[in-house]
Structure 1
């Protein structure tokens, strides 16, 4: 493809998760603890999804998600539903902590409060797809009420291929004897991922976004130091990053008209916590040129993500969605300041591509830096604050790209 795809991504984007109504959160917890029946959740969830889609439309957002309202957390249940993958229900002190990379930013943060990270899933047998997609019901429900001409706008957020690999130490993402090495594990998982994408594509999905904090962790000096000092590692951090890109490209094989993007951030946990810091400079050249995605949704709301200089490496056939509006806190950014930042980013893209600012702007969009509720409880702001943030994103886009969706 010689030019970057467009619509999707749209000029005013958002990352996927949106604040959940209290009634929905409470009912899902009640179902989980057995105090409510699963069918009690359905009408509450369906109404909430209809309402949040209406909110996106009211705010002028064309890339429509279900707010991730049918999930408890952003990564969904893809891995947990694959053959061979087992979710281990662990109790405090009931499992060997040595399986985790203690310097993995999310694991390190979890360990401050408890002795184990959240959900733990690993390969206890050979991995394969069951033929049934856990994401498909989300798409089908959206199609049931979104007008057919807007189905191409529906965006599903998908699990990072390395979600249950990076957090574990070398060769610890799978039970001993199941796989001899990462290449075998990656090969089976890639086939399962391809099957998932094919099921969704055949059902009409044309717009997907992979949520991937793990690649951004390679921007963190603290993580890289931990990696370097880990005697169990059999490859350098650069070699692991390269292995991930190769693995991801196998996972992401798809038809040409299936728009796929990837979102990188540094954590978006309950109460607006982040896990790591570091500019994209360490990974930009490889990320932009070697990964088979069309769009990069990048966090750019605070200095923890560095400057726009790495955007000089963006190829002509790819887009960047600039996450300059924070989703973590209620304070509303200045529209003029954000427009200025978009133009500054465009200047770096233009420099790298030897283009004008106006030409470079054609490969850019704007969004919040992350979702508003990667986990059920959401970030430290209110529903109306979220609405104002989405309206601000739309307003910035209208200023920079007048008349474009």
Structure 2
């Protein structure tokens, strides 16, 4: 394996929850067990997952996002100035497949980082159990700050109050950057050296239908992409040199369904102007387009992590076809700057995708096998 993350064989973050964890969450929601009892069940499930990841040959270890209901909302609603709520008309993102649960976030005040954010304690627990052997790296995953921007300005139904709270939107953008700059500092202080910003916003801006919807609202998707890059670079501006921060660009992942379609070309220049150490890019089907947008990649110290193995369905990809696609990508990015991962997590929402736990680990083993064949340093 590569010594520093992202690793040649890497993961996006989430894993399928065991049945007993699903039951514990239902029991907690029904008031049958306490928060402390739920936490003990989560601890047990995470302990087991850590060992399963190590047994699968991974160097990167996550908590599977086992303490969350959603990949993004749980983190965002615990920031200052933001609350979670149930929309009157249900969740406003319409998946191509199964509908997502009716829950969302909204800005209700000036946005800032909560120094007592519960995810910091969650990471501390993961670090303790994952890195005790000195051979593995704990990875934390949080949603990008641009997810807040999109909800309030781009995908909102018109009920957003953000322009009342921030008459000058430049102040909103500055607060998003500052909030995440403080988050980076807090994670670093908690011992995190591998952090990931998960982001469906780039895929939203790449989707031709969404571009037309924005145009009808008088919004220029290209200008928004530039603003998003500025916010992200502001958040990363004080990143310690010994901390790796990557991003994962997702087209939506709920119960094996998806939200957006379109290649990276419309946003490639802005995406690759961000100062990430790695870019996890979905490339598991035609909706992601070809590799040509990678010609805009110019940060030669960063890694491109090719999401060529789908996490949505159980069928195993053909090894030779994946190897051929990796070779194709080297037309734009040197092999030394490439890695391999699933296209997304296996359970971006707690329900999980439509495959079994065995299928999940078969996907990981497939990636490990391909990596061992392709890279000499694996």
Greater Cα shift, 118-127 or 385-394: 118-127
Structure 1 residue 47: Cα displacement: 1.4
Greater Cα shift, 295-304 or 279-288: 279-288
Structure 1 residue 363: Cα displacement: 0.2
> Structure 1: which 5+ runs fail to align?
94-99, 101-105, 350-359
Structure 1 residue 313: Cα displacement: 2.1
What is the aligned length? 372
Q: Which of 72, 77, 87 pairs up with 1:75?
A: 72
> Structure 2: which 5+ runs fail to align?
none
What's the secondary structure of 2:149's corresponding residue? coil
Structure 1 residue 403: Cα displacement: 4.2
1:22 aligns with 2:19: yes
Show the counterpart of 1:372: 346
Deviations 1:86-125 (A, max 9, x none): 22344458xxxxxx9xxxxx624499969xx733222212
Structure 1 residue 282: Cα displacement: 1.4
What's the secondary structure of 2:353's corresponding residue? coil
Structure 1 residue 173: Cα displacement: 4.4
Structure 1 residue 174: Cα displacement: 3.5
1:241 aligns with 2:225: yes
1:325 aligns with 2:325: no
Show the counterpart of 1:267: 252
Aligned mates of 1:227, 1:291 — CA distance in 2: 23
Aligned mates of 1:30, 1:91 — CA distance in 2: 26
Show the counterpart of 1:356: none
Deviations 1:241-268 (A, max 9, x none): 1111111111222112211100001110
What's the secondary structure of 1:122's corresponding residue? strand
Is the 8 Å Cα contact of residues 21 and 45 (structure 2) preserved in structure 1? yes
Task: Show the 5 A alignment for 1:160-171.
Answer: 160-169=144-153
Distance 1:35 1:278, change over 3 A: same
Show the counterpart of 2:355: 381
Greater Cα shift, 151-160 or 57-66: 151-160
What's the secondary structure of 1:87's corresponding residue? strand
TM-score normalised according to structure 2 size: 0.92
Is the 8 Å Cα contact of residues 16 and 68 (structure 1) preserved in structure 2? yes
Is the 8 Å Cα contact of residues 151 and 205 (structure 1) preserved in structure 2? no
Cα RMSD, aligned residues only: 2.3
Distance 1:118 1:6, change over 3 A: farther
Q: Which of 312, 322, 336 pairs up with 1:338?
A: 322
Aligned mates of 1:172, 1:206 — CA distance in 2: 38
Greater Cα shift, 182-191 or 242-251: 182-191
Show the counterpart of 1:357: none
Q: Which of 280, 292, 306 pairs up with 1:297?
A: 280
TM-score normalised according to structure 1 size: 0.86
